[in-house]
Amino acid sequence: MGADMIGYLVIGPTQLNPVRVEETRVRLEKLKELLVVWEEDEGGDAEEMDDRFYDAAGKVMDDEFWAERFVNQCMEPASLKAFADFDEFVEWWNGGHNDARDTMTRGLPDGRVIVSCGDMSYGDEPEGRGYTLVRDMALLGALKHLGIE
């Protein structure tokens, strides 16, 4: 069995737009509130609650399939740590990604930057800082709202 490269390759602005950062922060706070309510609703009809959560989350994220992908991508609803990583991600991105050993960058003439982060793996998920931050923001759907593709 050989190792495989597991990672993310994204492109975005060299510095994140502060207005987009705040708009994304507001979206994520609303989303976090929805997740907490969804988790705590033990007495209600589970299917009805799922439908309400999926609809509300889709509206918050401007993506009707967001909740389904979030829940299906091995992200437990109780795992709210990804939300706490938002400020760390913004600081890391704006700081030039220099403090993550699993990350490579390449500046482009148009002011954007290509960021690649990940590691070789024998089946387990990489644990590097860059990979973890980008993965969490991708799972939350925050990248597109920050102007990162």
Domain boundaries, the chain: 4-145
**62 in Cβ contact with 55 (< 8 Å):** no
Residues 55-75 have a mean pLDDT of 70
22, 23, 130 from 7: Cα distances, Å: 27, 27, 9
How many CB atoms within 10 Å of residue 23? 13
Looking at residue 48, its pLDDT comes to 66
How many CB atoms within 10 Å of residue 22? 10
Residue 120 has pLDDT above 50, yes or no: yes
Residues 135-139 have a mean pLDDT of 88
Looking at residue 85, its pLDDT comes to 87
Helix (H) or strand (E) holding 116: strand 112-121
Residue 78 has pLDDT above 50, yes or no: no
Residues 7-36 have a mean pLDDT of 91
Residues 125-145 have a mean pLDDT of 90
5, 7, 15, 118, 135 from 131: Cα distances, Å: 12, 6, 19, 5, 6
1/127: higher pLDDT = 127
Q: Where are the alpha helices (DSSP H) in 2-104?
A: 18-40, 46-61, 66-72, 81-94
Looking at residue 56, its pLDDT comes to 80
Residues pairing with 12 in the sheet: 113
DSSP-based three-state secondary structure for 10: strand
How many CB atoms within 10 Å of residue 75? 17
Residue 28 has pLDDT above 80, yes or no: yes
Looking at residue 1, its pLDDT comes to 59
Taking the C-alpha atoms of residue 144 and residue 24, their distance in angstroms, rounded to an integer, is 9
Q: Mean pLDDT, the chain, as a whole number?
A: 83
Are β-strands 4-13 and 103-107 bridged in parallel, bridged antiparallel, or unpaired? Answer: unpaired
Residues 110-118 have a mean pLDDT of 94
